[in-house]
Amino acid sequence: MRILYGVVGEGMGHATRSRVVIEHLLQAGHMVEIMVSGRAYDMLRKHFDGVHEIHGWHLIYEDNAVRKTKTAWSNLVGLGDGVPQNIAAYFELLDEYRPELVVSDFESWSYLYAKMQRVPVISIDNMQILNRCFHDNDVLQGAMPEFLLAKSIVKAKLPGAHHYVITTFFHPPVRKERTTLVPPILRPEVLAARPTQGEHVLVYQSGEHAESLANVLKSFPQQAFLVYGMRRGIQTEEVDGNLRHQPFSETRFVEHLASARAVVAGGGFSLLSECVYLHKPVLSVPLEGQFEQVLNARYLQKLGWGLCRLEVTRDDVQELLDRSAEFTEALAVWQQDGNQRLFQVVDDLIAGLAGDGG
């Protein structure tokens, strides 16, 4: 089948997850053209041919929060720089390719093309859980306006798809038809990792709040913290007391994650999912203005697998250390057979479409 795969470029998790699905589709004998925006373009073109860059919505972060005014202005400015012509040219290219199916990881232009050409769309992402599932009151407590806003935005994204495949490590009741929950999509490097119980705590954090977090971590001089993200661009490890700042390395990051005692990170779905799979307790600090991250972190805490905090104090880190064994034991209930459930669902959906003649 000829497939157009759209990947939103905001957040590298979309690209790493889509890479797994695209590899599966290619191995199954399908032809795949990829439409991608933002930073995800550079990542995906290293792995695949047929990767096309297109303008996409992006977010601007400052001080561990989404800056809405700067984000809106940046996106509006970007739209004026020849983007409509580029999109028109790309749609002409797609008319020659004539995709029979569009798969979208929260990406709008591929979806728009599908609707214009009456091509079925399969949505594969984690965001649709906001709109297509019921959520417990205790998870939404004190954040109902933020939830309703986020839900309305997600609802307006990819409406009327043929099916919604939602990746998740928590399982609220599904409230809409044509919706299937599957375990998180895991990259090969994580699936190959073998978790061990080390002594260090892995930290993944950036932004202006990183400095205050660093001061909190330094108040635990006997505890080693392997830190990613605070000092971007470094080429070798830099030691600052009990903080060991790490240069970016996907391989080393997975090794440090698999051997960590616990993790301090944001609320991004991909990293939290990897922590759950490797049974690593997490102190999650979701980005302000990103309710999807808040939802992830609150469910993580509700399940007894870690803590959700909007700001980190010394007491929070102490609680993570004191309860790490408790959280690790609770995480033992999570078992996942790689990406097999996802692959089966996708294969069945494509087979059904092929049987119906698209």
On whether both 309 and 276 belong to a single domain, the answer is yes
CA distance 30 to 351: 12
Give residue-wise pLDDT tens across range 25-54. 999 999 999 888 777 777 888 888 878 877
pLDDT of residue 276: 98
Q: State the Cα–Cα distance between residues 349 and 32, nearest whole angstrom.
A: 16
Structure token pair of residue 296: 């992830």
pLDDT at residue 40, as a whole number: 76
CA distance 140 to 143: 5
**8 A C-beta contact, residue 14 and residue 105:** yes
CA 147 to chain centre: 18
Together in a domain, 161 and 113: yes
Averaged confidence pLDDT in the chain:
88
pLDDT band for 87, please (50, 70, 90 cuts).
Answer: low
Please tell me whether residues 164 and 276 are part of one structural domain. no
- Pair 141, 153: CB distance under 8 Å: no
CB 107 within 8 A of CB 35: yes
> Same structural domain for residues 173 and 195?
no
| Amino acid in position 182 | V
Q: How is residue 75 written in tokens?
A: 């996106």
Of all residues in the chain, the percent with pLDDT exceeding 70 is: 87
> Do 132 and 219 share a domain, yes or no?
no
Q: Mark whether 295 and 246 lie in a shared domain.
A: yes
Q: Are residues 159 and 26 in the same domain?
A: yes
287 and 211 within one domain: yes
pLDDT per residue as tens digits for the range 306-357? 999 999 999 999 999 999 999 999 999 999 999 999 999 999 999 999 887 6
State how many domains the chain has: 2
- In CATH, what number is assigned to the domain containing residue 235? 3.40.50.2000
Q: Beta strand 201-204 with 262-265: parallel, antiparallel or unpaired?
A: parallel
Q: Which residue has tokens 């232009």?
A: 109
Q: Which domain holds residue 95?
A: 2-186+338-355
How many of the other CB atoms lie within 10 Å of CB of 6?
30
Do 147 and 197 belong together in one domain? no
Q: Tell me, what DSSP letter sits at residue 327?
A: H
Tokens for 166? 């939602």
Do residues 91 and 211 both lie within one domain? no
Q: pLDDT category, 241, cuts 50, 70, 90?
A: very high
CA distance 32 to 218: 48
Please check whether residues 346 and 316 belong to one and the same domain.
Answer: no
* 205 φ/ψ angles, rounded to the nearest 5 degrees: -160, 145
pTM higher than the cut 0.85 = yes
Do residue 137 and residue 225 come from a single domain? no
